[in-house]
Amino acid sequence: MKSLRCSLPVLSMAVLVPSHSGHALGENCAARAARLGGMSLVRVFEYQCPASKGAKVEPEQFTDASITVVRSGVFGFRSDPGAQLLTAGSTMLANPGQQYEISHEHAGGDRCVIFRMDEGTLESLVGPPPRGAPRQYFARPVLPPTSRIEALRKLAEQCLASRGPVLELEALGLALAAEVGAQLGRAPQLESSRAPGRLARDGVHAALAAIEQGSTEELTLGDLARVAGMSPYHFLRVFKRETGLTPHRLLLRTRVFHALALLRDTRRPVTEIALDVGFGDLSNFIHAFRREVGCSPRDFRKTTPEAWAAAIRRPRGAR
C-alpha cells in the first residue's frame, strides 16, 4: 500500500487503522492514510476516504477498538441497532468484532481523525464491557456532534501539525475517551430501526449541506424543511433520527465548531469571531460557547492543549 508524503512518520495502515467499506484500509485497497502521531497509550491518525459517490457497499468488521471523529463530509453508517448519517463532528465508536457498513449516497472524500488506544486504558476511561459481552466497550456505535469532542479533535490536530509534545497529544486522546464515556452515560440507547428510505436520506443530506453553507444566516425550520422536501413536523422527526440532533442544535454546534478553529488558528478579536460565525452578539456567543465547550472563548484560546485536556478529564463537579 502506498503512503502519503508528509513531514511526520508514515505507516502502512493495513493493520493499525480499522477498515471500512469505501474507507477500507486492507492490503488490497488503494486508500492511503498518514500516521500523524503515535505513543504507548494513544495513537492518532488522519484518514481521507478515497470512495466516491455511489461506491459499492460491503459488510465490514472492526478489528480493534477506536474512536473516530469526522472532520468533514457526510456518509452513512449502519451497525446494530440502526443506521445514521455521520457529518462533521459526529463520533464513530468501534468495538472489536463489530459488523458495520459505510455508504456514500451523496458524496465521498470525507475526512476523519482516528484515535486508538490499548484496551486496558480504554476500559479505565469508558468503563468495563457488560457481562457476557467481552470487548464491547461502547454501548452505541455513534455519538452526534458535540462541541467538547470537536474541541479535542481540533487541539489534537493542532498539536500534531506543530509537532507538539507526545505527552500533550496523549493527554488529549485520554481526555477524548473520558468525554466519550461521559457522553455515553447521558445518551439514550438508540432504538433498533430499519435503514431509512433514500428520499429521506437525500432530504437530510440536503438540510445538512444547507446548515453548513448557511450557518451564519438565520435559518428557520421552514427553510430547512423546504430544502429537505418534507413537512416541518416530518422533517424534525427524520432529521433527529438520522443525525441524533435537532436542526437547531446542529446549527448552533456548527457555529461553535467554526469558532473553535478561528480561536486557535487566528488572533482575530473574539467579538469579531462571534459575529462572523453567526451569533447576533457577544453575550449569546459566550453563553453558547461555555455551555457547549465548558469554558469561555478566551480561556479556550489561551489554554495549552495539555492543560485543557486535563480539565476535561476532571469530574464535572470539580471544575
73 domain-assigned? yes
Q: Which three cell numbers stand for residue 113?
A: 481523525
pLDDT, residue 301, reads: 93
Cα–Cα distance between 177 and 319 in angstroms, integer? Answer: 18
40 domain-assigned? yes
Lowest mean pLDDT among 24-33, 143-152, 195-204, 217-226: 24-33
pLDDT, residue 306, reads: 79
Which position has the grid cell 465490514? 60
Q: Are 180 and 67 in contact (CB under 8 A)?
A: yes
Number of domains composing the chain: 2
Q: Measuring CA to CA, which residue among 149, 166, 167, 176 is closest to residue 71?
A: 149
Helix axes 270-277, 282-293, angle to 10 degrees: 90
Which of 107, 125, 146 delimits the end of a domain? 146
DSSP string, 289-317: HHHHHSS-HHHHHHS-HHHHHHHHHS-GG
Backbone angles phi, psi at 101, to 5 degrees: -140, 145
Is 34 in the same domain as 140? yes
Percent of the chain scored above 90 by pLDDT? 39
Is 36 in the same domain as 118? yes
pLDDT, residue 37, reads: 45
CATH code of residue 220: 1.10.10.60
297 domain-assigned? yes
pLDDT, residue 195, reads: 52
Backbone angles phi, psi at 193, to 5 degrees: -145, 155
Is 302 in the same domain as 209? yes
Residues 6+ apart with CB under 8 A from 245: 144, 145, 239, 253
Count CA atoms closer than 13 A to 140's CA, side-chain side. 22
221 has pLDDT over 80? yes
Cα–Cα distance between 157 and 179 in angstroms, integer? Answer: 17
Q: Which residues pair with 37 in a beta bridge?
A: 44
181 domain-assigned? no
Q: Which helix (H) or strand (E) holds 252?
A: helix 247-265
126 vs 276, which has greater pLDDT?
276
10 has pLDDT over 50? no
15 has pLDDT over 60? no
The β-bridge relationship of strands 60-61 and 99-103 is antiparallel
253 domain-assigned? yes
186 domain-assigned? no
252 domain-assigned? yes
Q: In terms of residue numbers, what domain contains 242? A: 198-311
pLDDT confidence of 292, banded at 50, 70, 90? very high
Is 141 in the same domain as 203? no
pLDDT, residue 222, reads: 84
Tell me 136's DSSP state: -
The per-type count for the chain, helices as H runs and strands as E runs, is: 11, 10
Cα–Cα distance between 24 and 199 in angstroms, integer? Answer: 27
176 domain-assigned? no
71-123 pLDDT tens trace? 999 899 998 877 888 999 999 999 999 999 999 887 778 899 999 988 888 88
Environment class of 109 (CB within 10 Å of its CB; exposed 0-12, middle 13-18, buried 19+):
middle
CATH code of residue 35: 2.60.120.10
Is 121 in the same domain as 210? no
Is 120 in the same domain as 207? no
What mean pLDDT, rounded, does the chain reach? 80
Which of 131, 146, 161 delimits the end of a domain? 146
151 has pLDDT over 90? yes
User: Does the model's pTM come out above 0.85?
Assistant: no
Mean pLDDT of 295-309: 87
